[in-house]
Structure 1
Amino acid sequence: MTTEQSGPYYELEVVRIIEETADARSLVFGVPDGLKETFKYRAGQFLTFGVTVEEHPLVRCYSLASSPDVDAEKKVTVKRVAEGRASNWFNDHVTVGDVLKVMKPAGNFCLQDRSTQLVLFAGGSGITPVISLVKSALATTQRSIQLVYANRDEGSIIFRKELDELASAHADRLEVVHRLDEVDGFLDVTAAGALISNALSADFYVCGPGAYMDVVEAALATAGVPSDRIFIERFLSPELEALDHPAEREEGEASSKVVIYLDGQETELVVGEGETILEACHRAGLDAPCACLEGYCGACMALVKGGTVEMRENDGGLDDSQVAEGWVLTCQGLLRSEGVRVEYPDA
């Protein structure tokens, strides 16, 4: 395999496909030796794909369901979404031997260096980053783990066999609670509260459909769980354009310059009207990190060292303390003064 790169994308080959359920499949990728370091990842992170569906360039993020501490291969799982252009394309058209455009791993939905109990709530395809966290926690820590996994019915449970095997092999540490809508009804705040009542000092991880996550977050808030113990991963499906699609321009914005510090190099760029810092970086051929492009994952965060930058959106990508320290999401960052200097953290 070669190590071709185009902008922030690398080429990876699909070496195996696993049909997980009637509407979900896993893609296993081969990583060439020259990209092993680039594609190192932490449990809970995701890969970002650039695909073209019916002549429309799309960008989608899919979580790694594999664990870097357990699994030799890199695996993402894609669940079909009604009317979802990308998810249906991945399920209907990708075959073994296909080469896909993939960005390096990103994301902050990761384990903390603590010994406290883990309580993880997953709904539907939200199990994909969660099972990665579970496997890594079992392999590298002694933490006790409770996983609450909600699905429509038995046939929708992704990774059922693997979860059963993990629960059996680690019966002293791992409890898996399956909730099925057709049997138990939809999870509500009372039921979620009962599940967490004996684990209020745990670290809580939540990933799933929006309504499901809202219920769990409400239960955690009602129970008084501090925010630094709650970790959220939101799955969004925006119809994103390709990275080089021109940005919408806003009145009053003028072209300006920004100095970028990335990978030990200093580069001065011209940023056009309405153009974000990240778009300017990619237009200039800089391999600036990114993923969701929507302001929620934090992969593109950088520190403002001078001047003023305003973010269009910050949908959870940065917390208040990070914003106060001067961090911005460059996919949302617009120049608001001269003399802007931005430094990306070391990879």
Structure 2
Amino acid sequence: MDALSPMASPDPAALRLSGALPEWNPEADDALIVREIRDETADVKTFVLAPKQPCVFRYQPGQFLTLDLDIGGESINRCYTIASTPARPHTLSITVKRVPGGPVSNFLHDQVKVGSVLHAIGPMGDFSCFMQGAPSPNPASAPKYLFLSGGSGITPLMSMARTFHDLGEPRDIVFVHAARSPADIIFRGELELMARNQPASFRFAPVCEADSPREPWHGLRGRLNLGVLNHIAPDFKQREVFVCGPAPFMAAVREMLKGAGFDMSRHHEESFDFAELARAEPEVAAEVELAEGVQAVQEAVAAPEVATYTIEFAKQKRTIECRSDTFVLDAARRAGVRLPSSCSKGLCGTCKSKLIEGTVDMKHGGGIRQREIDAGMALLCCSKPTSNLVVDR
């Protein structure tokens, strides 16, 4: 370079290739730039994300991000599993299915463009065959896997499969995916390519309920059942099984495996399905009210006296009572107050709310930043009141 030439800015691509990059820290900068948008099916898109400044992502395949979105002036948190592989750490991707009437999925599909900025925290979650410290037998060391996915539940299993593929790991994997039609098979081309690349160790078996308008289906048809599973993977009892999909799909798989005498200590499923929980919230509330009402009567005599506080939901103009040993979200559900929630474990951030007045005892699992706590935010699912509260909901 000429001594009089201005100093050139570092090229981001060159910085990434140098290997000397810091780890992405959402506490310092939670902004992610949309670098690419891919159409996976007619109603599913993948959003490829990267930090504003070059850095790398560290996560376990199967973990999720929580997006912090401003939609119509309202702050909404929503969780999406990372579909990409940490073996390619400079970007990550989420794959989103459009839900009719869903405010977040429709916002992402219709409003977000290449160059848009999304804010996120994470990664979080423990649904991963790479997670260390897992119960025995450790799924991270299993020689044979069976991945069972339904619909958009394919994303965490795709992250695991992509990681094994990228690392060239000698693992025997059978990947079964249930879809409505061949046109609805997410990542179909890539999964077929992975099967061609690793014919001795990776098998992809889609199961479709019906034909597509332009493509009759000649593969396995119907819904996943024990007969189909025995046909695809007759040695399934020897495999470590990971399952993700809509709640009914996971429940059906669970019962199918139990009925077949499968060792359920080797069965792993995504412990919460965000969309299903959101849709089922009124029913969940009714069940919680019945069960906990009985429990309250049983414990009334023996339980030590605890304080009871009022919880005012300012926007809904509702006031309820909540004991000091009860989570605010649980009390709200019992009282019929509708609040956004998903994991109920302090992980996802969906129930994050501003405390206008009052204090809580909160023990969260990573779904809230320290600066948000300092600003008076709280996760209602893991917060017990220590005074009367006014909540900006």
* TM band (smaller chain): 0.5 to 0.7
Letter in 1 for 2:161: V
Q: Distance in 2 between matches of 1:47 and 1:5?
A: 13
Matched, 1:129 2:167: no
CA displacement 1:154-213 (0-9 Å, x = unmatched): 111111111111110011100000101115122235434554541212110111122222
Distance (Å, rounded) in 2 between the aligned partners of 1:192 and 1:14: 38
Matches within 5 A, 1:21-40: 21-33=41-53, 36=56, 39-40=57-58
- CA 1:138 to 1:15, structure 2 compared with 1: closer, same or farther past 3 Å? closer
Q: Does the CA contact (< 8 Å) of 2:24 and 2:55 recur in 1?
A: no
Q: Who is 1:202 aligned against?
A: 239
Task: Write the distance in 1 (CA, Å) between the matches of 2:194 and 2:80.
Answer: 23
* Structure 1 segment 63-212 matched on structure 2, within 5 A: 63-70=81-88, 72-111=90-129, 112-140=139-167, 141-182=169-210, 184-192=221-229, 195-212=232-249
Partner Cα distance (1:146, 1:222) in 2: 21
Q: Distance in 2 between matches of 1:60 and 1:252?
A: 26
Q: Distance in 2 between matches of 1:218 and 1:99?
A: 42
Cα distance in 2 for partners of 1:96, 1:139 equals: 26
* Change over 3 Å in CA distance of 1:335–1:9 after alignment to 2: farther
**Letter of the aligned partner of 1:251 in structure 2?**
E
Distance 1:8 1:219, change over 3 A: farther
Amino acid in structure 2 at the alignment position of 1:224: G
Q: How many residues align?
A: 274
Aligned match of 1:251: 321
Q: Cα offset for 1:310?
A: 11
Is the CA contact (8 Å cut-off) linking 1:65 and 1:77 kept in structure 2?
yes
Distance 1:196 1:250 in 2: 53
Q: 1:235 — aligned with what?
A: 273
| Cα pair 2:327 2:381 within 8 Å, conserved | no
Greater C-alpha Rg: 2
1:298 to 1:101, Cα distance in 2 relative to 1, 3 A: closer
Q: Is the 8 A contact 2:208 2:222 kept in 1?
A: yes
Is there any run of 5+ residues in structure 1 with no aligned partner, and where?
A: 257-272, 277-291, 301-308, 312-329, 338-347
Percent of residue pairs identical: 26
Q: Residue 20 of structure 1 corresponds to which residue in structure 2?
A: 40
Contact kept, 8 Å, 1:151 with 1:179, in 2: the verdict is: yes
- C-alpha deviation, 1:20, in angstroms: 1.2
- Higher RCO, 1 vs 2 (CA within 8 Å, ≥6 residues apart): 1
1:315-330 maps to which residues of 2 (within 5 A)?
none
1:332 is aligned to 2:381: yes
Residue of structure 2 equivalent to 1:341: none
Quote the Cα distance in structure 2 between the aligned partners of 1:223 and 1:4. 44
Task: Name the amino acid aligned to 2:164.
Answer: A
> Is the 2:62–2:160 Cα contact (8 Å) retained in structure 1?
yes
- Give the Å deviation of 1:296: 5.8
Whichever structure has more strand as a proportion of its residues is: 1
Question: Within 5 A, what are the aligned runs for 1:36-47?
Answer: 36=56, 39-47=57-65
1:132 Cα deviation after fit:
0.7
CA contact (8 A) 1:293 1:331 kept: no
Residue in structure 2 matched with residue 226 of structure 1 by the alignment? 263
Residue 14 of structure 1 aligns with an amino acid whose one-letter code is: V
- Are the structure 2 counterparts of residues 108 and 331 from structure 1 closer, same or farther at C-alpha, using a change threshold of 3 Å? farther
Cα 1:161–1:155 shift into 2, 3 Å:
same
Q: Which letter maps to 1:211?
A: P
> 2:251 is matched with which residue?
214
Q: Secondary structure at the match of 1:95?
A: coil
Once the 2 structures are TM-superposed, how far is the Cα of residue 298 of structure 1 from its aligned partner? Answer: 5.4
Distance 1:206 1:252 in 2: 36
Are 1:77 and 1:128, in contact at CA under 8 Å, matched by a contact in 2? Answer: yes
Cα deviation digits, residues 292-341 of structure 1 (max 9, x gap)? 753268579xxxxxxxx999xxxxxxxxxxxxxxxxxx76334499xxxx
Q: Answer yes or no: is the 8 Å Cα contact 2:69–2:75 preserved in 1.
A: yes
Shift of residue 145 of structure 1? Answer: 0.1
Secondary structure of 2:259 counterpart: helix
Query: What is the aligned-residue RMSD (CA, Å)?
Result: 3.7
Kindly tell me: are residues 4 and 142 of structure 1, through their superposed partners in 2, closer, same or farther at Cα, counting changes over 3 Å? closer
Higher share in helix: 2
**Distance 1:274-1:114 versus aligned 2 partners, 3 A rule:** closer
2 CA distance for matches of 1:297 and 1:232? 19
Distance 2:62 2:269 in 1: 11
Deviates more, 1:12-21 or 1:196-205: 196-205
CA distance in structure 2 between the aligned counterparts of 1:298 and 1:101, rounded to whole angstroms: 16
The AA in structure 1 aligned to 2:97 is K
SS of the residue corresponding to residue 47 of structure 1 reads: strand
CA distance in 2, matches of 1:30, 1:130: 22
Query: TM (normalized to structure 1)?
Result: 0.68
Counterpart contact for 1:137–1:143, Cα < 8 Å: yes
CA deviation map 1:223-282 (0-9, x unaligned): 232333111124322389xxxx8899753535x9xxxxxxxxxxxxxxxx9658xxxxxx
CA distance in 2, matches of 1:64, 1:186: 26
